[in-house]
């Protein structure tokens, strides 16, 4: 009789008391049972740390680690180092997962004989309660090159740390960059390359909350420039292995520039960054625009920016509304 391998489920926790119990309960209720659940309380100042300890009392699989606040990357890295599982998966503690997500990801790895698997997710808007499921329900074995290309063009594959299951040996030389935002972008591509093949199941098993105060919805700060650094680092790493993905990398770099510009609308200062971003767009827009794999939204952004920056700002505000 074969025994299912131990899977480590790692949840970084920081000031999410409103969402924490739902998140952890969704892990406790998994159909896959041979798990250790590692909660890294990253110096929470609300009741999150206490709640972790209370929930640990209800399930012996839960292990709580309290540490001074060091950020999401450091919390994930601590979870990797403290884990014992043959496989690892990450869940953000303000999100939740379907009861069979871990089992689904593990069965994908077995089915396609890979070291890594992924599934799709549902976007949940906390203010309205509306849900937007992603994925087309298909399953396939995808090469690292194909997965990276999909990710770079914002296809069905994404850069997130979560909604994925990783063999432990993939982490031998990989850790999240501490002190950076958008750390997933600077890390996930390395795991695709290490894995060589990825078991993909595009069914939405992860529920991702979009809420006020998150990185996605928060106001601009200089830390948003981390997106450019992480994207360029990813591009350099991808091209060192797959130079044929040069167009896909350039498209993703262009997308990152527009993403930062969008955050900077109405913000004063940072003139050097604005000039660098504008220069990048001016130097590369034609190649990205003529790439038939570039999404239509990107092409519209390029056209609007080339008409005039003020026109682009207006177009973005209307699009966002």
DSSP notation for 166-210: EEGGGGTT--PPTT-SSTTTTTHHHHHHHHSEEEEEEEEEEEEEE
| Tens-place pLDDT, residues 125-168 | 988 889 999 999 999 999 999 999 999 999 999 999 999 999 99
* H helix or E strand, kind and range, residue 38: strand 35-42
Residue-wise pLDDT for 235-271, tens only, equals 999 999 999 999 999 999 999 999 999 988 888 888 8
| Predicted pLDDT at 270 | 86
Residue 31 is predicted with a pLDDT of 98
Model pLDDT, residue 63 = 98
Give, for 64, the enclosing helix (H) or strand (E): strand 62-67
Q: Return the closest-CA partner of residue 177 out of 250, 230, 220.
A: 230
Ranges of the chain with pLDDT below 70: 1-2, 212-218
Whole-number pLDDT of residue 264:
87
pLDDT of residue 212: 64
pLDDT of residue 1: 47
Backbone angles phi, psi at 308, to 5 degrees: 180, 145
Q: For residues 279 and 284, what is the distance between their CA atoms, to the nearest angstrom? A: 9
Helix (H, G, I), strand (E, B), or coil: what is residue 306?
Answer: helix
pLDDT of residue 280: 97
d(CA 317, CA 308): 15
What is the structure's pLDDT at 133? 96
């Amino acid at each position: 009789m074969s025994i299912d391998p131990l899977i480590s489920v790692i949840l970084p926790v920081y000031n999410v008391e409103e969402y924490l119990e739902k998140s952890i309960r969704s892990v406790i209720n998994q159909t896959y049972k041979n798990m250790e659940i590692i909660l890294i309380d990253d110096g929470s100042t609300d009741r999150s740390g206490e709640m972790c300890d209370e929930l640990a009392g209800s399930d012996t699989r839960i292990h709580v680690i309290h540490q001074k606040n060091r950020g999401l990357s450091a919390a994930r890295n601590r979870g990797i180092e403290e884990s014992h599982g043959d496989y690892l998966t990450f869940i953000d503690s303000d999100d939740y997962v379907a009861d069979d997500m871990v089992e689904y990801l593990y069965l994908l790895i077995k089915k396609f004989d890979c070291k890594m698997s992924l599934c799709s997710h549902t976007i949940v808007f906390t203010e309205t309660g509306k849900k937007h499921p992603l994925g087309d329900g298909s399953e396939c074995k995808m090469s690292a090159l194909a997965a990276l290309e999909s990710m770079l063009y914002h296809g069905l594959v994404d850069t997130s740390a979560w909604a994925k299951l990783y063999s432990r040996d993939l982490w031998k030389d990989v850790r999240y960059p501490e002190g950076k935002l958008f750390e997933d972008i600077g890390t996930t591509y390395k795991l695709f390359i290490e894995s060589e093949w990825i078991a993909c199941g595009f069914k939405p098993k992860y529920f991702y909350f979009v809420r006020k105060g998150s990185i996605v919805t928060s106001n601009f700060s200089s830390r948003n420039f981390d997106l450019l650094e992480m994207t360029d680092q990813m591009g350099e790493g991808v091209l060192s292995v797959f130079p044929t993905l040069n167009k896909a990398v350039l498209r993703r770099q262009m997308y990152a520039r527009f993403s930062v510009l969008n955050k900077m609308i109405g913000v004063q200062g940072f003139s050097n960054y604005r000039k660098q971003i504008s220069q990048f767009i001016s130097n590369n827009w034609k190649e990205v625009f003529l790439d038939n794999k570039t999404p239509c939204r990107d092409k519209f952004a390029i056209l609007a920016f080339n008409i005039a920056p003020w026109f682009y700002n207006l177009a973005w505000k209307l699009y966002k509304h």
